[in-house]
Chains A and B, each alone.
Chain A
Amino acid sequence: MPARLGVSLLLFKPFGHNSSLGKTKGFTADMTDSKYFTTTKKGELFELKAELNSEKRDLKKDAIKKVIASMTVGKDVSQLFPDVVNCGQTDDLELKKLVYLYLINYAKSQPGLLTLMAVNTFDKDTRHPNPLIRALAVRTMGCIRVDETTDYFAEPLKKCLKDEDPYVRKTAAVSVAKLHDINSDLVEEQGFLELLQDLLSDSNPMVVANAVAAISEIKASSSKAHDLLSFSQTMINKLLTALNECTEWGQVFILDCVAGYHPKDERDAQSIIERVTPRLAHANAAVVLSAVKVIMRLLDVLPESSDFVTNLVKKLSAPLVTLLSAEPEIQYIALRNIALIIQRRPDILKHELKVFFVKYNDPIYVKLEKLDIMIRLTNQSNISQTLAELKEYATEVDVDFVRRSVRAIGRCAIKVDVAAERCVSTLLDLIQTKVNYVVQEAIVVIKDIFRKYPNKYESVIGTLCECLDTLDEPEARASIIWIIGEYAERIDNAAELLETFLDSFHDENSQVQLQILTAIVKLFLTKPSDGQDLVQQVLSMSTQESENPDLRDRGYIYWRLLSTSPQAAKEVVLAEKPVISERTDSIESDLLSELISNIGTLASVYHKPLSSFVDGAAYRPTRPLTQQPSSELAEEDVTTPIPNANPAPTTPVGGDLLIGDLLSLSIPSAAPAAAPPNQQSSSTVDLLGGGLSDLLGGGITPAPTNTQPSSSMSSGLDDLLGGFGGPPAASSAPATPLVKEPTQQVWLASDKGKGLEVRGSFVRKHGQVCMELTLSNSSMQQLSGFAIQFNKNSFGLVPASALKVNPISAGSTCTASLPLHTTGTVQRMNPITNLQVAIKNNVDVFYFATQIPMQCLFADDGLMEKKAYLTTWKDIPASNEVQSSVSGINASPELLEEKLKNFNIFTVAKRNIDGHDMLYQSVKLSNGIWCLIEVTCQPSNSTVQVSLKSRVTEVYPPMQKALEEVLRS
């Protein structure tokens, strides 16, 4: 049929626009495709169906265009499947393309029909005389990912791989990768891999390039194929020859493939490098970066000191710099890669500092990356240029950029010793600007400078102290306090300054509290007369009035140190601090090698290992090249900027690191067990004053009547609890522990947890309270060695078993369920449901506090005897009764009763008074506190009245909240 139809096609011109080859415009608005987007009539599908089956080709084509338009905007047009497939029986290439486009989208929804109808068309098309149609068919078949069709696919594909036309062959090559993705066994067993390898020697460069791409993809996804498809030296040479004739994309495929090749020897490596080097002058950034990747990898095999290497390193600079005049997005990719490249080979670009100067109109992401690279390139000889620039940046608009610029000045000071003084004076200039965030950031970095160069710049302390009032960020406050403590001896009014901080002690962030504590102890040790009063105050504040275990423990240690041996205290607290060095943001050596082998790819942009963002990337074909264990290797280890194996007592300057003295560095690991036992017991007495006995003694036996807490205390509590009334998630999502999981809340944000994020919730499972945890790792390293501990709490909750969490690799998430006992030591918390948790891993110990929903704590044996109930109810004065109402409950009393019982709220008695249903109920908390409840409901009213009575009034607010949640569940 083809020939005649072809003639008739000539007569047809689609929607009348003139489209000769060279013309670019001439698509008039009224006669264009946009009209297909506007059909919104009812019965549209029906109409389309009619049009699709029409005899007129233009009507048919229009209809398909409408179908495609609907598909694009997300409308379901799958019903038209048979009609559209019918249209595919044509020689009109445009119509065919549209039909195939439709097929790709909807094949999945109609597999049965498809095998019948489409396969036939495909098969015919792969034998069509027009190579464009043959290629179109083989391309589309691969996109239809339905198992039933793959069998029909194999034979035509094999034929197309040997087609006489290169266009068909290059399309077929990619289709092998598609088929492998659907059915890898089929490809591996039916000899497709061999056919694909034959194509590597094809006379047409594009066929070769696509075959390389397909092979690379298959290799990466299947270990079996990986062994089969290794590239020999001769094959690599062939590919490098084809490189000259490929399209720019083909060059990228080939270069990326060559980057995975392991050269036989130095000569092999050298000859590859020589053949790849001309690509550095290509206009396409991807070609340039892939060439850089090949060279960077192969350089590792060559002797460092040879002229060849030195020359090569010189040659790499210019092309990298040129990438910075490309589009901003490409600049960004280039900059992220440059950061890696200069970490491995600092000689590249060492003279090019200026090109990384930030332009006013650069997008922010380019600015930040440039800043980072500037610091990496800064050395003694160019420090003045860098400083001048940084000072300029510190006056820009973007807050984040300004902060990083200020921080960069600090990094310069630590990196280049001779420039420290200039950096300090630059920072002082910036402090004079009085721009709040600039001042704060400057103080933080000056602290680091003091650490690095002790006793050198104290003269500036006066200036720093002048801006005390403006500091409102914890890190800045902590920094200035550290400075005051460190130099207490030389600051006349140190005691006075610290005293002002002490006044607001309880309002401070814990980081600041810790610093105040340490600074005052330092003051006391250096100037005992000045610090005497303060030290007493701060120790009692941090040990007795604080809920932060970290702070308390540190307080106890100091206290004990000071009381046993002031000399020892001096030695510990005022000990010499480890030296800090500038290795901020250096990437660990193994990861760096992995990233270098992935230059240009996403991994190099994220600076993260593949496994952290790609599924199933465990199989890694690109290992970093290493030389035989020779002396050079050992040398390299010493010279690499990242002394991984070097245990020198250096600590990186990091924003999140505790400002270190010895104590703060060593405390995390020792924290949970830090407080000496005798102190502990005395403190328990201290901390658990008045209310303890009734918390513990609860019970129902005729209790002492004088346990009513003082009014001032309860009012204070109310205040606190009022604020606590609506903590996140849990209140909005009704918690029904037995039925559905309550939403987990973030307990530890990843920025506080050095990359560890903890989310969690409490549920009651099989009579036991469980803590459900979701741990996510957003850091760049694996987290392992997890352990958990609770601080003493109101309900004696302790983990019933150890926290069983496997090591979490970077970027992944893990869940754990931790059963809890209620047999631990009881200590009243404020608010009563407060639970303080410490989680430890291989990085650090992290502390956070959370609230336990009361309903998880109701014990199974909470049914009280009727008599006891009555006496207790009478016993508790009416003034201790609280009432609340819960609206919007449409349930019968029986249903309510059932619901409450699910949560261990037991009905003691039931009565009906004046049409009101009264439920008398009892609840026992896991620590033995009883709570009596009276629920009143009215059939006509959806509002339920709840009265509560307990000897421990503190439980009321959380109890009310729990009841409300239970009733609403």
Chain B
Amino acid sequence: MIGGLFIYNHKGEVLISRVYRDDIGRNAVDAFRVKIIHSRQPIRSPVTNMARTSFFHIKRNNVWLAAVSKQNVNAAMVFEFLNKMVLVMNSYFGKITEENIKNNFVLIYELLDELLDFGYPQNTDTGIMKTYITQASVKSQSKEETAQITSQVTGQIGWRREGIKYRRNELFLDVLENVNLLMSPQGQVLSAHVAGRIVMKSYLSGMPECKFGINDKVIMDSRGKTGIDETPKPAAGGKMSIAIDDCQFHQCVKLNKFETEHSISFIPPDGEYELMKYRTTKDISLPFRVIPLVREVGKSKMEVKVVVKSSFKSNLLAQKVEVRVPTPLNTSGVQVLCMKGKAKYKSSENAIVWKIKRMGGLKECQLSAEIELLNTSDRKKWTRPPISMNFEVPFAPSGFKVRYLKVFESKLNYSDHDVIKWVRYIGRSGLYETRC
């Protein structure tokens, strides 16, 4: 299991060091600094074995988090844990920075004591952690209080405490999708997928049981067959159902029920959390297409023409549209011309950045640029990195629809109808690239 955990600043100075096992000595701390942080070569793997000791690392804002082990640990678990630890620290004191770490080192030691025992990850749910690691001096709790804490930390529903009360029962659902695309210069889709997340903010009293309905093909089909559910209403203008390749659920979702009955039911954590992640690859409606035209005119000049076409409904508006056209390293000057938005050549980023604040559906914009090149002796060819795009659109490119979210709380006297529910769809660009 994890033998020790170290946090370093960008210079390699130790900010936190917590050793869980005897086989990890102080020299391990130095070995990581010398061999990884101060390494001259770029790092070729997030896992390194030195002298039969394995080092796992992740980096956040110039802060290195390293886990060390001398055993054959579950590597996936170690990285998942490091990421989780970052989340926990985020929720306690915000961003992971050297200053924040130093300012909260006592808290971090306390957290590390609780998150890992003998190198085994324990409960890492922030909601629960905050019930008993508060940084306020621990009030002398009553016996009932401590019993409640311990049963929550270890309990079956480790993500929600009992006795939550709201005057107004409310929940927010955000369907957040990242569209990823890799397109050939000829406009052929090389690969495309949507990575979606359902983020839920729940402010519900008691221990409510929720049922979540979506337009996934498998779920809908099984409903159709068994006839348990009402027939799905065709979503206005959208597809009836979509094929979800794979989905993953928050801890709270009863996976067995999903496997056998294809229903998503759960008791939600309080506040904000990620209910579900999913991935689709079929029938994605790509919000934009980029058509590049790059012409090298002799050795000292290049002409670039980029056309961006939006292909969603004309009554919708895309926001924060940004197109990034990479330029060669030996660019000496650029003249850009665009009809819509603003385009600028940023020499520090070796790219023309073209920003369009808003863009309606079924529109077309064009940018043309003349790039002047310095004559260089460098024979290395320019590798033509892909043109990338950023945007935000108010729909789900995968066609994902929330059909219902029902709340049942038998003990308290509020019903599904009393809960105020909000749903929002946002489609963002992931890696949205067109080769040129």
Q: Which residue of A lies closest to B77 (CB)?
A: A286
| In the bound complex, CA of A281 to CA of B260 (Å) | 13
Given contacts A130-B141, A330-B76, contact A24 B91 (CB under 8 A): yes
> Contacts A33-B105, A132-B150, A332-B45 given: A14-B17 contact, CB under 8 Å?
no
- Considering the chains assembled together, what is the distance between the CA atoms of A614 and B46 in angstroms? 19
A322 at the interface (CB under 8 A from B): yes
A282 sits at the interface (CB 8 A): yes
List A contacts of B146 (CB < 8 A).
Answer: 130-132
CA distance A434 to B380 in the complex (A): 9
Closest to B109 in A: A101
Distance, CA A84 to CA B26, complexed state (A): 22
Which A residues from 228 to 246 make CB contacts under 8 A with B? 244-245
Minimum CB–CB distance for A248 against chain B, Å = 6
A364 to chain B: which residues have CB within 8 Å? 42, 44
Most B CB contacts (10 A, CB to CB) among A72, A171, A610 go to: A72
Q: Which residues of B contact A129 (CB under 8 A)?
A: 143
In the assembled complex, which residues on chain A have CB atoms less than 8 Å from the CB atom of B82? Answer: 329
Q: How far is the CB of B294 from chain A (nearest CB, A)?
A: 14
On whether the beta carbons of B137 and A9 are closer than 8 Å, the reply is: yes
Does A112 make an interface contact (CB < 8 A)?
A: no
Task: Check if A7 is an interface residue, CB within 8 A of chain B.
Answer: yes
Within 8 A of B (CB), among A116-133: 129-132
> Judging by beta carbons under 8 Å apart, are A206 and B73 in contact?
no
Which of B118-126, B305-313, B355-363 has 4 or more CB atoms under 8 Å from chain A?
A: B118-126
Count, A-B residue pairs, CB within 8 A: 308
A122 to B155, CA, bound (A): 26
Task: Confirm or deny: A381 has a beta carbon within 8 angstroms of a beta carbon on chain B.
Answer: no
**Contact call A281/B58, Cβ cutoff below 8 A:** no
The answer to whether B83 has its CB under 8 Å from any CB of chain A is: yes
Q: Is B259 an interface residue (CB 8 A)?
A: yes
Question: Measured between alpha carbons, how far is A29 from B102 in the docked complex, in Å?
Answer: 10
Q: Tally chain B residues at the interface, Cβ within 8 Å.
A: 113
Size of the A side of the interface (Cβ < 8 Å), in residues, is: 127
A602 to B2 CA separation, bound complex (whole angstroms): 12
Q: Mark A892-928, 1 if CB is under 8 A from B, else 0.
A: 0000000000000000000000000000000000000
A604 to B83, CA, bound (A): 21
In-complex Cβ contact of B94 among A3, A25, A327, A602 (8 A): A25
Contacts of B21 in A (CB 8 A): 181
Which one of B247-255, B408-416, B421-429 is at the interface? B247-255
List residues of A (338-386) whose CB comes within 8 Å of B's CBs. Answer: 354-355, 357, 359-361, 364-365, 385
Q: 1/0 per residue B108-144: CB within 8 Å of A? A: 0110010001101111110000111011111111010
Which stretch in A86-94, A301-309, A767-775, A849-857 binds the other chain?
A86-94
Binding stretch for chain B, among A391-399, A697-705, A746-754: A391-399
Taking CB atoms, residues of chain B closer than 8 Å to A256 are 74
Q: With A213-B120, A286-B74 in contact, do A181 and B22 touch (Cβ < 8 Å)?
A: yes
Q: Are B154 and A72 in contact (CB under 8 A)?
A: no
Segment from A40-48, A162-170, A548-556, A869-877 that makes contact with B: A162-170
Q: Once the chains bind, are A395 and B103 in contact (CB under 8 Å)?
A: no
- Say whether B433 faces chain A, with CB atoms less than 8 Å apart: yes
Q: Is the CB of A600 within 8 A of B99?
A: no
Interface flag for A278 (CB, 8 Å): yes
Give the Cβ gap from A150 to chain B, nearest Cβ, in Å.
13
Contact B135 A14 (CB under 8 A): yes
Q: Which of B182, B246, B254 has the most CB of A within 10 A?
A: B246
**What separation, in Å, do the CA atoms of A712 and B285 have in the docked complex?**
81
Contact B113 A602 (CB under 8 A): no
Picked from A19, A29, A249, the residue with its CB within 8 Å of the CB of B134 is: A19
Whether the Cβ atoms of B120 and A433 lie closer than 8 Å is: no
Chain A residues near B158: list those with CB within 8 A. 206, 247
Residues of B within 8 Å of A20, CB to CB, are 136
Whether A29 lies near B99 (C-beta < 8 A) is yes
- Report B334-355 residues with CB < 8 Å from chain A CB: none
Are A249's CB and B120's CB within 8 A? yes
Query: B191 on the interface (CB 8 Å rule)?
Result: yes
Report if A97 contacts B (CB, 8 A): yes
Would you call A178 an interface residue if the criterion is a C-beta within 8 Å of the partner chain's C-beta atoms?
A: yes
Q: Chain B residues near A135 (CB, 8 Å)?
A: 150
CA distance A395 to B435 in the complex (A): 12
Asked whether A72 and B92 contact (CB < 8 A) given A13-B136, A601-B75, A605-B75, the answer is no
Contact of A328 among B46, B120, B251, B435 (CB under 8 A): B46
Q: Could you tell me the distance between the alpha carbons of A59 and B132 in the complex, rounded to whole angstroms? A: 23
Asked whether, in the complex, the Cβ of A245 is within 8 Å of the Cβ of B156, the reply is yes
Q: Which A residues between 922 and 960 are near B, CB-CB below 8 angstroms?
A: none
Q: Are B256 and A244 in contact (CB under 8 A)?
A: yes
Q: How far apart sit A283 and B252, CA to CA, in the bound complex (Å)?
A: 11
In the bound complex, do residue B44 and residue A365 qualify as a contact, i.e. CB atoms below 8 Å apart? yes
| B37 part of interface (Cβ distance < 8 Å) | no
Q: In the assembly, what is the distance between CA of A397 and CA of B16, in Å?
A: 37
Chain B residues near A434 (CB-CB < 8 A): 379
Check A361/B431 contact, CB under 8 A, given A9-B139, A33-B106, A318-B246. yes
B76 touching A602, Cβ below 8 Å:
no
Measured CB to CB, the closest approach of chain B to A812, in angstroms, equals: 10
* A602 near B140: Cβ-Cβ < 8 Å: no
Answer whether residue A457 sits at the interface, using C-beta atoms and an 8 A cutoff: no
Q: How far is the CA of A12 from the CA of B139 in the complex (A)?
A: 9
- A327–B107 Cα distance when bound, in Å, is 26
B232 within 8 A of A: no
The docked-state distance in angstroms from the alpha carbon of A318 to that of B52 is 34
A98 touches B102 (CB 8 A): no
- Which of A165, A278, A282, A600 touches B77 (beta carbons < 8 Å)? A600
Q: Say yes or no for A311: interface residue by CB 8 A criterion.
A: no
Residue B71 interfacial (CB < 8 Å):
yes
A6 to B139, CA, bound (A): 7
Residues in B with CB closer than 8 Å to A68 are 105-106, 109
Instruction: List residues of chain A with CB within 8 A of the CB of B122.
Output: 170, 206, 210, 247, 249
Does B102 lie within 8 Å of A174, measured CB to CB? no
**B274 part of interface (Cβ distance < 8 Å):** yes
Decide: A167 near B154, CB < 8 A? Known: A178-B118, A321-B279, A333-B76.
Answer: yes
- With beta carbons under 8 angstroms apart, the residue of B46, B92, B379, B380 that contacts A24 is B92
Which residues of the partner chain B approach A319 to less than 8 Å between Cβ atoms?
246
Interface: A613 (CB within 8 A): yes
Write the B221-252 contact mask toward A (1 if CB under 8 angstroms, else 0).
00000000000000000000000011111110
State whether the Cβ of A37 lies closer than 8 Å to any Cβ in chain B. yes
Q: Which of A34, A277, A286 contacts B80 (CB 8 A)?
A: A286
- Chain B residues with Cβ below 8 Å from A585 are none
CB distance B258 to A281 under 8 Å?
yes
Contact of B150 among A145, A166, A174, A252 (CB under 8 A): A166
For B153, what are the chain A residues with a Cβ–Cβ distance below 8 Å? 167, 206
CA A321 to CA B247, docked complex, whole Å: 11
Residue from A34, A277, A434 having most chain B Cβ neighbours under 10 A: A34
A477 at the binding interface (Cβ < 8 Å): no
**A:136-185 near B, CB below 8 Å:** 139, 142-143, 145, 165-168, 170-171, 174-175, 177-178, 181
Taking CB atoms, residues of chain A closer than 8 Å to B316 are: none
CB-nearest residue of chain B relative to A604? B75
A937 shortest CB reach to chain B, Å: 43
Most buried by B among A2, A285, A385: A285
Q: Contact: B384 with A252, CB < 8 Å?
A: no
Q: Which residue of A lies closest to B385 (CB)?
A: A360
**Does residue A598 face the partner (Cβ distance < 8 Å to B)?**
yes
- The digit string for A86-111, where 1 denotes a CB below 8 A from any CB of B, is 00000111100110010001000000
Contacts A21-B134, A33-B104 supplied; 18 other A-B pairs, CB < 8 Å: A7-B140, A13-B136, A33-B106, A72-B16, A93-B138, A98-B109, A174-B117, A204-B154, A285-B80, A319-B246, A321-B245, A329-B46, A332-B45, A332-B46, A365-B44, A385-B190, A615-B52, A615-B70
Sample 19 A-B pairs with CB under 8 A, ordered by A number.
Answer: A6-B139, A21-B134, A94-B138, A105-B19, A204-B155, A244-B256, A247-B158, A249-B81, A279-B255, A286-B74, A290-B74, A330-B83, A334-B76, A354-B191, A357-B190, A361-B431, A434-B379, A602-B54, A615-B52
